[in-house]
A and B are shown apart, each in its own frame.
Chain A
Amino acid sequence: MTDRLLIKSGRVIDPSQGIDKIADVLIEKGRIVSIEPQEPGSGSKSQATRQIDASGKIVCPGLIDMHVHLREPGHEDEETIASGAAAAVAGGFTSIACMPNTEPAIDTEAMIEFVYRQAARAGLCNVYPIGAITKGREGKELAEMGQMVRAGAVGFSDDGCGVANPAVMFRALQYATMFNRAIIQHCEDADMAAGGVMNAGFTATRIGLPGIPAIAEEMMIQRDLSLAAETRARYHVAHLSTAGSVQLVREGKQRGIAVTAEVCPHHLLLTEEACATYDTNYKMNPPLRSRADVDACIAGVVDGTIDCLVTDHAPHGEEEKELDFQSAPFGIIGLEIALGLFAKALIEPGHVDWPRLIAMLTINPARVLQLDKGTLRLGTDADVTIIDPAMNWTVKVGEFRSKSRNCPFDGWKLSGRATHTIVAGVVRFSLEPAAVA
Chain B
Amino acid sequence: MSTTGDPVQKAKSAAAASERESVVWPHRHLLALEDLTADEIRLILDTAEAFEDVSTRSVKKVPALRGRVVVNLFFEDSTRTKTSFVLAAQRLSADVVDFSAKSSSLSKGESIRDTVRNIEAMGVDLLIVRHHVAGTPHLIARNVGCCVINAGDGRHEHPTQGLLDIYTMRQVKGRIEGLEVAIVGDVANSRVARSNLHGLLKLGAEVTMVGPTTLVPRAFEKMGARIAHDFDRVIEQFDVINMLRIQRERISSNVFPSLQEYSRLFGLSAQRMKRAKPDVLVMHPGPINRGIEMAASVADGANSAVLRQVTNGLAVRMAVMFLCKQAAEGS
- Per the CB under 8 Å rule, do A and B touch in the complex? yes
The interface of chain A, by Cβ under 8 A from chain B, is 201-202, 204-210, 277-278, 319, 322-327
| A324 with B157: CB separation less than 8 A | no
Q: Do A322 and B133 have beta carbons less than 8 Å apart?
A: no
Q: Is B136 an interface residue (CB 8 A)?
A: yes
Q: Are B219 and A208 in contact (CB under 8 A)?
A: no
- Structural contact, A209 and B222, CB atoms closer than 8 A: no
Closest CB in chain B relative to A280 CB, distance in Å = 8
Known: A208-B156, A208-B191. A325 touches B136 (CB 8 A): yes
B188 at the interface (CB under 8 A from A): yes
Choose among B153, B191, B217 the residue that contacts A205 (Cβ–Cβ < 8 A).
B217
**Which of A201, A324, A326 makes the CB contact (< 8 A) with B219?**
A201
Give the chain A neighbours of B219 by CB distance below 8 A. Answer: 201-202, 204-206
* Any A CB within 8 A of the CB of B220: yes
Q: Which residues of A contact B302 (CB under 8 A)?
A: none
Whole-angstrom distance from the CB of B94 to the nearest CB of chain A? 27
Whether the pair A278, B111 counts as a contact (CB closer than 8 A) is no
A206–B223 touching, CB < 8 Å: yes
Q: Check A207/B109 contact, CB under 8 A, given A202-B219, A202-B222.
A: no
Which residues of chain A are within 8 angstroms of B155 by Cβ–Cβ distance?
208-210
Please state if B138 and A327 are interface contacts (CB–CB under 8 Å).
no
- Give the interface SS of chain A, mostly helix, strand, loop or mixed: loop
Among A202, A277, A319, A326, contact of B133 (Cβ-Cβ < 8 Å): A326
Q: With the chains together, A324 CA to B130 CA distance in Å?
A: 12
> How many pairs, one residue from A and one from B, have CB atoms within 8 Å of each other in the complex?
66
Q: Is the CB of B134 within 8 A of A209?
A: yes
Closest 3 CB pairs of A and B: A278-B135, A208-B156, A208-B134
Instruction: Report the bound CA distance from A207 to B194 in whole Å.
Output: 9
Task: Give me 16 A-to-B residue pairs in the complex whose CB atoms sit less than 8 angstroms apart, sorted by A's number.
Answer: A205-B219, A208-B135, A208-B155, A208-B191, A209-B154, A209-B155, A209-B156, A277-B138, A322-B111, A322-B112, A322-B113, A322-B139, A323-B108, A324-B131, A324-B133, A326-B132
Minimum Cβ distance to chain B for residue A303 (Å): 31
CB under 8 Å from chain A, chain B span 17-46? 34
Cα distance A322–B220 in the bound complex, in angstroms: 30
Cβ of B131 and Cβ of A208 under 8 Å apart? no
Chain B: minimal CB distance from A113 (Å): 34
Q: Give Cα A209 to B191, complex, Å.
A: 11
Chain B residue numbers with a CB within 8 Å of A326 are 132-133, 154
Task: State the CA gap A205–B187 with chains docked (Å).
Answer: 10
A207 and B133 alpha carbons, distance in the complex (Å): 11
Question: Within the complex, which residue of A202, A319, A325 is in contact with B135, where a contact is CB–CB below 8 Å?
Answer: A325
Contact string against A for B residues 91-121, beta-carbon threshold 8 Å, 1 for contact and 0 otherwise: 0000000000000000011011110000000
Contacts of B139 in A (CB 8 A): 278, 322, 324-325
B154 touches A208 (CB 8 A): yes
**Chain B 251-267 against A: per-residue CB contact (8 Å), 1 yes, 0 no?**
00000000000000000
What's the nearest-Cβ distance from chain A to residue B228, in Å? 17
What's the minimum C-beta distance from B194 to chain A, rounded to whole angstroms? 7
CA A277 – CA B141 in complex, angstroms? 12
A326 to B112, alpha carbons, bound, how many Å?
13
Within 8 A of A (CB), among B128-159: 131-136, 138-139, 153-157
Cα distance A208–B135 when bound, in Å? 8
Residues of A within 8 A of B136 (CB): 278, 324-325
Residues of B with C-beta under 8 A to A201: 219
**Contacts A201-B219, A278-B135 known; A208 to B153 CB distance under 8 Å?**
yes
Taking the closest CB of chain A, its distance from the CB of B40, in whole angstroms, is 20
- A327 and B101 alpha carbons, distance in the complex (Å): 15
- Shortest C-beta distance, B168 to chain A (Å), equals 23
Query: How far in angstroms is the closest Cβ of chain A from B224?
Result: 11
Cβ–Cβ contact A323 & B111, under 8 A: yes
Which residue of the partner chain B has the closest CB to A275? B135
Smallest CB separation, A322 vs chain B (Å): 5
A8-B130 Cα distance, complex, nearest whole Å? 63
**In the bound complex, CA of A277 to CA of B132 (Å):** 17
Verify A324–B135 contact, CB threshold 8 A: yes
- Partner of B157 from the list A202, A208, A277, A327 (CB cut-off 8 Å) is A208
Residues of A near B191 (CB, < 8 A) are 208
- Considering the complex, give the chain A residue whose CB is closest to the CB of B222: A202
Residues of A contacting B109 in the complex (Cβ-Cβ under 8 angstroms): 323, 327
A205 and B134 contacting across the interface, CB-CB below 8 Å = no
- Chain A residue with minimal CB distance to B220? A205
Among the listed A202, A277, A319, which residue makes an inter-chain contact with B111, where contact means beta carbons less than 8 Å apart? A319
Interchain CA distance A240-B43 in the complex, whole Å: 48
Q: Which of B113, B134, B157, B219 has the most CB of A within 10 A?
A: B134
Contact of A278 among B132, B134, B188 (CB under 8 A): B134
Residues of B within 8 A of A325 (CB): 133-136, 139
A326 to B223, CA, bound (A): 23
Asked if B222 and A278 sit within 8 Å, CB to CB, the answer is no
